[in-house]
Amino acid sequence: MARRTKAPAMPGFIKPQLATLKSKAPSGENWLHEIKYDGYRIQLHIDGDGRKAFTRTGLNWIKRFSVIAGAFDLPGQAIIDGEVVVVHDGRTNFSELQADLAGGNQDRLLYYAFDFLWLDGKDLRSASQLARKELLQELFDTHKIEAPALYSEHVIGDGNELFEAASKLHYEGILSKKAEAPYRSERTEAWLKVKTIHKGTFPVVGFIKDPSGVAALYLGKQQGEELVYVGKVGTGWSRTTSAQIRKALDTVVSPKAKLIKPIKKPKATWVEPAFYADIEYRDITSEGLLRASSFKGLSKGTRRS
């Protein structure tokens, strides 16, 4: 009687593949392109009734994502790579996700599955990117997997069209992946990310001093006759530029903030909103604050909306 071959042991946490930042998306039939979701990278491990949900650094957060893990009603083994998000006003919102996780709320969590690493004893990482995605979609269709788990759709060809659409919808950006490439646990050129960048000009309402210039600028935004706080920026200038900013702002120091709603900033030096900062930023949070902002220039002008 032939001896049954024992199935390969299911691996533990697999170090994730990471994307290389580029300024422009590639094109051609060898590339597939996906929306870049703004959330937490989570690697789901399913082994019969066992469930694990590993973060990008290998922490098991299954208690926080138990509802998502439960959406995968599978009889065998699977390891799936994806992103946990919260969708607010039609797009993923990282600050809303953080708030829900802090409160232990899983009701709004969604999981966009975009890669497939293991299935019933078979390591899929050597298969092509396109083949892995086809197997992942087949898994969703066969087992009728539904929300909060979602299959991450892709397009093949020119990534710039998807990037332009993502920019208009204020998504974080796109990911471009070589269709024939295997999965590699490192940052590679087989995965590329192109991030959308938003630009704006905001009145400076205050600053934090450092010995030779400024450590950060507090920014406002005109809403009708009211000046509201929109966050701070602390990067994007050289030491020389920092000193020049400080020299300019020292000429318009105010005893109190000119914001319609006072905010507590013990280290702040408040100023008249006479100078405007050109800012690049990734997003605006649900609280109305700039996210991932960077300073690009300072100009003087009259208050404007």
Question: pLDDT below 70 — which residues of the chain?
Answer: 1-7, 302-305
- We report the CATH number of the domain holding residue 279 as 2.40.50.140
Which residues 6+ apart lie within 8 Å of 122 measured at CB? 8
In a domain, 8, yes or no: no
Q: Dmax of the chain from CA atoms?
A: 92
Domain that holds residue 272: 198-300
Q: What is the pLDDT at residue 303?
A: 44
Would you call 300 helix, strand, or coil by DSSP? Answer: strand
In a domain, 13, yes or no: no
Same domain, 35 and 171: yes
Same domain, 148 and 263: no
In a domain, 4, yes or no: no
Same domain, 107 and 142: yes
Give the total number of structural domains in the chain: 2
In a domain, 267, yes or no: yes
Which residues 6+ apart lie within 8 Å of 25 measured at CB? 31, 33, 158, 159, 160, 162, 163, 174, 176, 192, 194
- We report the CATH number of the domain holding residue 48 as 3.30.470.30
The letter for the amino acid at 98 is: Q
Residue 122 structure tokens? 């078979």
Residue 172 structure tokens? 């974080």
- Dihedral angle over CA of 81, 84, 90, 91, nearest 10: -80
**Number of residues written out for the chain:** 305
Q: What is the pLDDT at residue 13?
A: 97
Q: Which residue, 231, 215, 235, 205, is CA-closest to 290?
A: 231
Q: What is the pLDDT at residue 6?
A: 56
In a domain, 152, yes or no: yes
In a domain, 37, yes or no: yes
Tell me the chain's radius of gyration from C-alpha atoms: 24
What mean pLDDT, rounded, does the chain reach? 91
Q: What is the pLDDT at residue 7?
A: 59
- Domain termination site, one of 176, 195, 214: 195
Q: What is the pLDDT at residue 4?
A: 47
In a domain, 112, yes or no: yes
- Domain termination site, one of 179, 195, 211: 195
Report the distance separating Cα 276 and Cα 271, nearest Å: 12
The letter for the amino acid at 114 is: F
- Domain termination site, one of 145, 172, 195: 195
DSSP per-residue letters across 34-102: EEEP-SEEEEEEEETTEEEEE-TTS-B-TTTTHHHHHT---SSEEEEEEEEE-EETTEE-HHHHHHHHH
In a domain, 5, yes or no: no
Would you call 120 helix, strand, or coil by DSSP? Answer: coil
